Amino acid sequence: ILNVEQSPQSLHVQEGDSTNFTCSFPSSNFYALHWYRWETAKSPEALFVMTLNGDEKKKGRISATLNTKEGYSYLYIKGSQPEDSATYLCAFKSQAGTALIFGKGTTLSVSS
């Protein structure tokens, strides 16, 4: 059974702090790694889709890196703002799989 782990489960930071979370996934048969942001009362929104080892992607203050050989991805948020408060989900797709496998998410709370 393929497993996708996210850590930490939750964290609370102050406005202006930079933070990062981890997504761990199987390192064999890698195809793609997705990151989504899910704000309360809204729909999950795609942040990044990463396919190549060493990929780095950036969207505003949020960036992500990918290491397919060791099976992890980091999501970084620089200078956290209250509007960054959300649950961040990663999802893994293997070459053989037909569907995304989601982690349980990291819930970020940013206080002003």
Residue 87's Cβ-side half-sphere holds a number of Cα atoms within 13 Å equal to 13
59 touches another protein by CB under 8 A? no
Instruction: Pick the binder of another protein from 7, 10, 27, 51 (CB under 8 A).
Output: 51
Window of 18-26, 37-45, 53-61, 67-75 that interacts with another protein by CB under 8 A: 37-45
> How far apart are the C-alpha atoms of 107 and 88, rounded to whole Å?
6
Instruction: Pick the binder of another protein from 22, 49, 63, 65 (CB under 8 A).
Output: 49
Asked whether the beta carbons of 89 and 105 are under 8 A apart, the reply is yes
> How far apart are the C-alpha atoms of 25 and 22, rounded to whole Å?
10
99 touches another protein by CB under 8 A? yes
> How far apart are the C-alpha atoms of 110 and 93, rounded to whole Å?
30
Q: Which residues bind another protein (CB under 8 A)?
A: 31-32, 34, 36, 41-46, 49, 51, 89, 91, 93, 97-100, 102-105
